[in-house]
Chain A
Amino acid sequence: MSDARPAQVAAAAPRDAARPFAAVQRTRRNVVKWIVTAPPFLFLLVFFLLPSLIMVLASFRYPGEYGGLAPLGAATHPGADHGLTVETYQFFFSSFIYTEIFIKSFIVALATTLICLVMAYPLAILIARSPRRHRDLMVLLVILPFASNFLIRVYAWMIILGPQSAFSHFVNSVLGVFGAGPVTMLFSPFAVLCGMVYVHLPFMVLPLYTNLEKHDPVLLDAAQDLGAGGWQRFWRVTFPLSLPGIFSGAALVFIPVLGIFVIPDILGGTRDILIGNLIENQFLTTRDWPFGSTLSIMLTLCVLATAGFAAWLARVGARRA
């Protein structure tokens, strides 16, 4: 580091010699910096990076006879070196079932993200353009659902969409008018989507609001002054300026939805299994840890690829805007 900027160091050294206090102060500042940043750094190292590496290793191992992992270098699998294998990855690609579940999960995550975006945008604009004294209250209302338990909120949807609920009666009687048969809404992709959108909506509203609130209203005046009507002002000024908010909101919705298993577990039917459920099953039901790890790593790779694609899209979009 220091030899990268020799000129600066050379210039700074005699000055510090003349003012020893400055050197002491600089050292103290560095020590403080380390003390403050070390705990979160160590925390992430121990509880995120190491487990991730352990999982990568686990995905290349054999399952144990009674679940878990087979010991390394085990003789149970003759011909295998050190008990490492790519069998699980081969297994993943051997059947289209798993790829299909991945694709389905992506579609659900994408749909949830889009629905959240369409629902959150007007709300975020409304909050951002309200008088300042009302904004805090409105933001509080948006995050209020977090005050009650996540599972209770999801179970509430089970009741709302259940066959005996007022909502179901209403929907079916309306459908009846048009001669369409009664539908069961619970344990369906529709129910899963309802739950997903409901739970993740605040994660879209908040970053959007934070972004929109910072827009200088005089820009809209300028656009109008220069001949832009309402839609033009939105598409050419508000929307492009809100792209960073849209991207962070989309990331906060898309990524968790991709991996979530509780909502499809409770609200989905037996055929609505998503990646999250698949991974959960490998660890808790099938007890095939290596395959669970493999699925988990595939999921991580997919998320990274999507994020990379979005970043690329944003850069290209910014250049062309």
Chain B
Amino acid sequence: MALLEIRDVTRRFSDFVAVDHVNIAIEAGEFFTLLGPSGCGKTTLLRMIAGFDLPDEGQILLDGRDLAATPPEKRPVHTVFQSYALFPHMTVAQNIAFPLKMAGKSPARIRDRVDEALADVRLSEKSGQYPHELSGGQKQRVALARGLVNRPRLLLLDEPLGALDAKLREDMQLELIELQKEIGVTFVFVTHAQNEALALSHRIAVMNRGRVEQIDEPSKLYGFPKNRFVADFIGKANLFDARVIDSAGGRLRLEVPGLGDVEAPARADGGVGAGDRGVLSLRPEQVRIAPPGHAEQLRNHFPGKVHDFLYIGDVTVYIVELVNGTRVEALLPNSAPGRAKFFEPGDPVEVAWRDDVGHFLHE
């Protein structure tokens, strides 16, 4: 049985459907992420799990018991808020002791657990300080320790890394993974940052307009997006409108209007037949870029013109305009020292990709 089961949950605000018939099952010990653009309903869903909001339809079950009648303070579910919500009039130790005090633990036991929690997040020497004396990363760790100290069944994290700068965010991501592994509490993480979701989660639910588009492991989500939205939202994707001409021998032959024939691998789940319409999704790192006439060995190759490029550091992203006007993104690693630029805007080039990459999606 799943630890948390969200069963056909719907939440409406007047005529706006924030959460629309959502079904999710989260297993014990999982690091589960709700991912989606702002306004997709992920925060509303989180608030319903915490108990600050109730579903209009459907049920939320924890260990098989419906939570509807349980107020937030009685749920074995704690939240790490986006703004941390540390109590400004309490020291770090008092903040962490708060849930233990509320649970009526004895002072001696509270002291032990607080010391342990402080050690877990490496803040033992800050125990007597007040939140305003801490840095963003330290506040974050206090909020985590406070949420975890009395071992809830579920820890909800509402974009907890949003307020940190990029470098610190990366460090905190690693710490989060470590902490979750060590303590074993189930995490439900909410974010709009797809790279964060991919890096942290065991499984991700991609949400859009109140609906769950796909629930999968990060690599599956990235490699085999179920639809156009997921393909576009997770990572970068080059999307070509395409029509299936033939689907035999584990290969799809597609016709891309204005470009010509493209070969792509058949989907593992099959279900694609001649005449189907959809989109071909290609990751930028799957697209090669070469001077004209240097890509003939690959099945799919098309001439184009460099439109622009972005130098990112480890890679350069080239935007190539194909003959039919489609713009394709291609990554070129900058591993050769001193080579930051291979092509200039306006250069004629050839883009190409192997016939075993790409992912066909039904519209």
- A residues at B contact (CB < 8 Å): 216, 218-219, 221-229, 232, 236-237, 240-241, 318, 321
Contacts and interface: CB of A to CB of B under 8 A. Distances in A.
15 contacts: A216-B85, A221-B52, A221-B72, A221-B81, A222-B85, A224-B52, A224-B73, A225-B51, A226-B99, A227-B74, A227-B102, A236-B87, A318-B89, A321-B90, A321-B94
Contacts of A228: 73, 98, 102
A232 B102 CA distance: 8
A237 B72 contact: no
A226 B98 contact: yes
Interface of B: 50-52, 71-74, 77-79, 81, 83, 85-90, 94, 98-99, 102-103, 146-147
A138 B24 CA distance: 46
A318 B90 CA distance: 9
A135 B102 CA distance: 33
Contacts of A318: 89
B324 to A, nearest CB: 51
A227 B103 contact: yes
Given A218-B85, A219-B87, A225 B102 contact: no
A236 B95 CA distance: 11
A232 B87 CA distance: 13
A2 to B, nearest CB: 32
A225 B72 contact: yes
A226 B83 contact: no
Closest 6 CB pairs of A and B: A227-B102, A222-B85, A226-B99, A218-B85, A225-B79, A224-B72
B81 A218 contact: yes
B88 A218 contact: no
A218 B71 CA distance: 16
B85 A219 contact: yes
A245 B162 CA distance: 33
A165 B88 CA distance: 51
A321 B97 CA distance: 13
B154 to A, nearest CB: 11
For the complex, would chain A's binding face be called helix, strand, loop or mixed by DSSP majority?
helix
Given A225-B78, A226-B146, A240-B89, A218 B83 contact: yes
Contact of A226 (B51, B89, B94, B102): B102
A300 B336 CA distance: 82
A321 B79 CA distance: 24
Contacts of A229: 73
B161 to A, nearest CB: 17
A222 B79 CA distance: 7
A60 B158 CA distance: 69
B62 to A, nearest CB: 15
Contacts of B86: 222
A174 to B, nearest CB: 41
A225 B87 CA distance: 13
Contacts of B146: 226
B90 A222 contact: no
Contacts of B71: 224
A225 B88 contact: no
Given A216-B83, A225-B50, A229-B73, 6 more contacts: A224-B72, A225-B51, A225-B79, A226-B78, A226-B102, A321-B89
B88 to A, nearest CB: 7
A223 B98 contact: yes
A224 to B, nearest CB: 5
A315 to B, nearest CB: 13
A79 B45 CA distance: 90
Contacts of A223: 87, 98
A245 to B, nearest CB: 13
Nearest to B47: A221
Nearest to B75: A225
A122 B74 CA distance: 26
A223 B99 CA distance: 8
A227 to B, nearest CB: 3
A221 B146 CA distance: 14
Contacts of A321: 89-90, 94
A219 B83 CA distance: 10
Nearest to A227: B102
A235 to B, nearest CB: 11
Contacts of A240: 89
B78 to A, nearest CB: 6
A133 B179 CA distance: 44
Q: Which of B50, B77, B86, B87 has the most CB of A within 10 A?
A: B87
Contacts of B52: 221, 224-225
A221 to B, nearest CB: 6
Contacts of B81: 218, 221-222
